[in-house]
């Protein structure tokens, strides 16, 4: 049975980053919406006990995605 990371064996980190940049290109709005949706689901699943941390993590993810898109 192939593990989730087996496809990455022998792949250089630069190649992974380049592929991520390609996938992010022009999809900033969709990515932000997906991050918000996942954050909302996590917030609901934790009965809003960690809202501040979840919101902070979501903002950091959006910033990281924006940086990757800007680098392209």
Going by the DSSP 8-state scheme, the letter that residue 8 receives in this structure is: G
Per the CB < 8 A criterion, the answer to whether 21 and 66 are in contact is no
2: left (phi over 0), alpha (psi -120 to 50) or beta: beta
pLDDT per residue, tens digit, the chain (72 aa), is 456 566 667 677 788 778 877 877 788 889 999 999 999 999 999 999 999 999 999 999 999 888 877 766
What pLDDT is recorded for position 13? 78
Q: Rounded to two decimals, what is the model's pTM?
A: 0.70
């Amino acid at each position: 049975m192939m593990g989730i990371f087996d496809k990455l064996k022998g792949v250089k980190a630069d190649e992974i980053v380049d592929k991520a940049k390609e996938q992010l290109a022009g999809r900033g709005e969709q990515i932000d919406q997906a991050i918000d949706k996942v954050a909302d689901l996590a917030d609901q699943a934790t009965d809003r006990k960690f809202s501040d941390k979840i919101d902070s993590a979501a903002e950091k993810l959006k910033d990281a995605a924006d940086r990757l898109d800007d680098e392209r």
